[in-house]
Amino acid sequence: MRRYSAFAIAREAMRHHLGWERAWKSPTPKAQYDVIIVGAGGHGLATAYYLGKNHGIRNVAVIEKGWLGGGNTGRNTTIIRSNYLQDPSAAIYEKARSLYETLSQDLNYNVMFSPRGVMMLAQTEHEIRGYQRTAHANALQGVATEFISPRRVKELCPIINIDGPRYPVLGALWQPRGGTARHDAVAWGYARACSDMGMDIIQQTEVTGVKREGGRVVGVETTKGYIGCSKLGIVVAGHSGVMAERAGFRLPIESVALQALVSEPIKPIMDVVVMANTVHGYMSQSDKGEMVIGGGADNYNNYTQRGSFQHVEETVRALIETFPIISRLKMLRWWGGIVDMTGDRSPIISKTPVDGVFVNCGWGTGGFKAIPGSGWAMAELMAKGHSPLADAFSLGRFREGRFIDESVAAGVAH
């Protein structure tokens, strides 16, 4: 694989850009792999990448029923932060945030990481107490956050209205090193690196069944035939319950649509990410000038990749109160992603009742920000059978009552 560089761009410009090679190969599946990862989204590709980089396991196939990064990875609002309350959550999200810092250099691919800062608005007295508690917890966890005043909020984001009639801004939890990245580029960068290590990325191939012998996985049935494996990782976000059923077990999750939208592009008006969890609306501005707006999840289980009108109305109405400047903008695009949620709003990274099958799911509304840390932990779990980052997120916690309650820090207003 040729390295990308300024020199390479200049060289190819002289060749009319005819010398670029494919970023990743599209191979025919082999009969047998050491590891199969189902799901070529950010989490699945990161798992494969760290299996190769950290553990030397490179006889790996990543199987995707659609196209690479075509699920939730390409359907989110790209926010990256680690200001979670519980210690296990802060550890894995901070690991992910720190990996994002150097991910472009590690992958030799510009993921457009922008540590512009993330603020979570406190708009009720209850939120003030909750975010101050989180700030103290973050200090003990080594995560750099602080609770800031309304005046400081206004300084960081001049377009905000801190005196809203329904939800005035009473302060905010501020993480200066949070930010955003380009969601597609994260998937593409990991895919390119995986392909360069000799891994096979197999697109347009659905896994229709999991074959077991003596309680252990031996392979998968796909729309391109049977493929054998020694270990299987299920990393399919909103379809995790479906895949688990095919493997012979059930998961304590539910799938719903989470929606977002972008406005027409305008000149730069804000350079931070603002989250308003009381109304579950959040907004940032993309490099192209679009206002990227996230809303709430549907109140009923579904597998759609589109939004519902009531959430768009609720979200936009609340954000216009907080940001009056956006009231006359036109909506450019609107979509939904299928997210899987657990009862405690924390993920599952775990072994399963089937020997050799591992699952990574339940990220709910926080999947994109966790991609590097999730892949790191899942790879370590699959390679060694144990990962300090993943231990607390095992399936056993639901049976044993060891919940990791992040319903507030996750920004889930339902």
At 414, is the pLDDT very low, low, confident or very high (cuts 50, 70, 90)?
Answer: very low
Q: In angstroms, rounded to a whole number, what is the distance separating the alpha carbons of residues 182 and 184?
A: 6
Position of tokens 């009969």?
31
Percent of the chain with pLDDT over 90: 78
Indicate if the pLDDT at residue 154 is higher than 60. yes
Greater model confidence, 136 or 407: 136
pLDDT digits (tens, 9 = 90+) for 252-287: 999 998 889 999 999 999 999 999 888 778 999 999
The predicted model gives 177-205 an average pLDDT of: 96
Q: In angstroms, rounded to a whole number, what is the distance separating the alpha carbons of residues 211 and 132?
A: 50
At 295, is the pLDDT very low, low, confident or very high (cuts 50, 70, 90)?
Answer: confident
pLDDT on residue 164: 81
The chain-wide mean pLDDT, for the chain, equals 93
pLDDT on residue 410: 58
At 64, is the pLDDT very low, low, confident or very high (cuts 50, 70, 90)?
Answer: very high
pLDDT on residue 67: 93
Q: 254 by DSSP, 3-state: which?
A: strand
Q: How far is CA 237 from CA 10, 198, 303, 348, 411, in A?
A: 40, 25, 11, 11, 18
Q: Could you say which of 3.40.50.850, 3.30.70.270, 3.40.50.460, 3.30.9.10 is the CATH number of the domain covering 118-178+255-342?
A: 3.30.9.10
Q: In angstroms, rounded to a whole number, what is the distance separating the alpha carbons of residues 273 and 174?
A: 10
Indicate if the pLDDT at residue 121 is higher than 90. yes
The predicted model gives 143-148 an average pLDDT of: 97
Q: In angstroms, rounded to a whole number, what is the distance separating the alpha carbons of residues 408 and 331?
A: 29
The predicted model gives 146-164 an average pLDDT of: 95
pLDDT on residue 413: 42
Indicate if the pLDDT at residue 87 is higher than 90. yes
Indicate if the pLDDT at residue 409 is higher than 90. no
The predicted model gives 81-92 an average pLDDT of: 96
The predicted model gives 235-240 an average pLDDT of: 94
Q: Where are the domains of the chain?
A: 28-81+85-107+183-252+345-400, 118-178+255-342
Q: In angstroms, rounded to a whole number, what is the distance separating the alpha carbons of residues 36 and 167?
A: 48
Question: Cβ of 34: how many Cβ atoms within 10 Å?
Answer: 15
At 304, is the pLDDT very low, low, confident or very high (cuts 50, 70, 90)?
Answer: confident
Architecture label for domain 28-81+85-107+183-252+345-400: 3-Layer(bba) Sandwich (3.50)
Answer for the pair 139, 87: CB distance below 8 angstroms, yes or no. Answer: no
Percent of the chain with pLDDT over 70: 98
Buried b (16+ CB within 10 A) or exposed e, 360-372: bbbbbbbbbbbbb
